[in-house]
Homo-oligomer: A and B are copies of this chain.
Amino acid sequence: MQTSDNTAQQLIAEMGQKARAASALLANVPVARKADALNLAAAELRARADEILAANQRDIQAGEQAGLSGAMLDRLRLTPERLDGIAAAVDAVAVLRDPVGMVIDEAVRPNGLHLSRVRVPLGVIGIIYESRPNVTADAAALCLKSGNAAILRGGTEAVHSNRAIYAALRAGLIKGGLPEDAIQLVPTQDRAAVGAMLAAHGLIDIIIPRGGKALVARVQEEARVPVLAHLDGICHTYIHPQADPAKARDIALNAKMRRTGICGSMETLLIDRHFADPTPVVAALLDAGCEVRGTPEVRALDARITPARDEDWTTEYLDAICSVAFVDGVEAAIAHINTNGSHHTDAIVTEDASAAEAFLNGVDSAIVMWNASTQFADGGEFGLGAEIGIATGRLHARGPVALEGLTTYKWVVRGTGQTRP
């Protein structure tokens, strides 16, 4: 194990140095050349479809032999249509607005110094992910578009798919005249390589984990490098006494049931005791096939409701299950959410603007919503084009993280010979 750790450290150190050198070159590449390289990479993905699908078939067969679940095999599986979608997503990133070089603000000081803050790439981004091979292309494209070098470490079950996709991307970069080390795939599936990435302070500027809770938890626990991530999406919808009953029902139903497995799906519904018409809201969930777990008081609304236990208030079901509680007023709703939630996305349904503003101010979450479904918590829905993840931490970038979140800034000071008195 010690040898494995040392080998992994050395490997990641070498990859990190190459990535740093590539990032220095990338930082000054014009927008058009980055876009060209991405289009060339997408073309390579299409041209190599047979090869990539064959590699994926090897992963699928190995996965079936290893007894992977149907859901895991589905995440792993590529089809011609899915591969087309991956290539199209790379082309879509190519046309996004490039944040690099954008001036955040500027000022002229009384002594004539001209100051500006200019967006620059973060540098080297580590992506650690699981069975979805599309992450290889998605993450690489977003990193490259924002001028960053990327070190990718995908899941073992997708190893052949990832290598085939990566080979296509790299061929695109080279054709586009970009530094080939701008995107690197960790060549070993040794788990020590993940540990080495997490410890690579100074070599990797930020780690973004893409995958299930166990992966994110390990990364957050072990990393000595800053991490952009969310561990849980325990999202709430609060129905205020002045909620429109139809909106309350439609929003709660959509927030829970549109897709139950995404991080923005509602896990807990809070209904104000003074809301006049709670029964149809709960009935709509039950009728749609949702298991509703409630307090004794909530259970009185409908015989189908099962009892909620303490841990239900802090559980991310990612399934057709919803916990429901009554609360007394906006402040109680805010307190419940700030105590039990995961600072991801929380919504109020009300026609009372001042109650809404109190909720939007008081809830300490990356995304707060008024009269909208929490399922909108998504970079694409926010108009960011694509997201590399959703962050619930408080530093750097919060909520959906897209190109801007992959940049930092530098202060540029232009003078005419000023010295400081």
Residue interface bits A364-376, CB-to-B below 8 A is 1, else 0: 1111111111011
Those 7 A-B pairs whose CB atoms lie nearest each other, nearest first: A372-B415, A254-B419, A247-B417, A375-B420, A369-B413, A396-B396, A371-B415
B368 touches A411 (CB 8 A): yes
Contact of A398 among B365, B375, B410 (CB under 8 A): B410
Contact segment of A57-65, A107-115, A137-145, A187-195 = A107-115
Give the residue name and chain of the B residue nearest to A223 (CB).
Answer: B224
Whether A365 and B417, one on each chain, are in contact in the complex, defined by CB atoms closer than 8 angstroms, is no
Identify the A interface with B (CB < 8 A): 24, 27-28, 107, 109, 113, 115, 120, 122-123, 205-206, 226, 244, 246-247, 250-251, 253-255, 258, 338, 356, 360-362, 364-373, 375-376, 381-383, 394-396, 398-400, 408-420
Residues of B within 8 A of A362 (CB): 24, 28
Copies per complex? 2
Question: Is the Cβ of B258 less than 8 Å from the Cβ of A394?
Answer: no
Q: Select one of B251, B371, B415 contacting A369, CB under 8 A.
A: B415
Q: A409: which B residues are within 8 A, CB to CB?
A: 398
- Greatest chain B CB density within 10 A among A27, A368, A419 is at A419
Cβ contacts under 8 Å, A120 to chain B: 364
CB of A333 to closest CB in B, whole Å: 14
What residues of B have a CB within 8 angstroms of the CB of A356 in the complex?
414
Known: A28-B361, A395-B206, A416-B371. A376 touches B113 (CB 8 A): yes
Identify the closest chain B residue to A255 (Cβ).
B419
